[in-house]
Amino acid sequence: MKEPDKRWKCAVGDVAERQHWTDFMDAYEDAIRSTATKHAPWYVVLADNKWFSRLVIAAAIVDRLEELDPKFPDLDQDALRALEKAQKQLADENSNGRPGRGNQTEDRGSSRP
């Protein structure tokens, strides 16, 4: 409250609410304990230090992804053929530098310099 540029963070009513802090914390801890599961855990991250909070969150995400061990899906033969066709089409476009024109070499004018 002493720093003018931080006064917007404070509300006079917060002072009175501090009387209920223990009740708030008990309810908070009860909610976390009652809803956290092995399948869907809660991560309580202190926000006092932004870079450290972000580091903790990033580490939790990495750990969970490593546990999940995600894999790319296997494609069936139809999907593989469709990808090969698309790859050939893109290669053809790259060979003449003009998307959507296939192997056409005729220049029909361009609005680009």
- Give yes or no: residues 94 and 52 share one domain: no
pTM value is 0.50
Q: Indicate the pLDDT class of residue 108, thresholds 50, 70 and 90.
A: low
Together in a domain, 20 and 61: yes
**C-beta neighbour count of 89 within 10 angstroms:** 13
**Any domain includes 52:** yes
- Residues 64 and 77 reside in one and the same domain: no
Compute the distance between CA of residue 69 and CA of residue 56 in angstroms, rounded to an integer. Answer: 20
| Phi-psi label, residue 30: left if phi above 0, alpha if psi -120 to 50, beta otherwise | alpha
**Measured distance CA(52)–CA(49) in Å, rounded:** 5
For residue 79, what is the DSSP state?
A: H
| Tens digits of residue pLDDT in 33-68 | 999 998 889 988 998 999 999 999 999 999 999 999
Residues 40 and 81 grouped into a single domain: no
Residue 109 lies in a domain: no
The per-residue pLDDT for range 70-91, each reduced to its tens digit, is 999 999 999 999 999 999 999 9
Structural domain for 12, as ranges: 4-68
Domains in the chain, number: 2
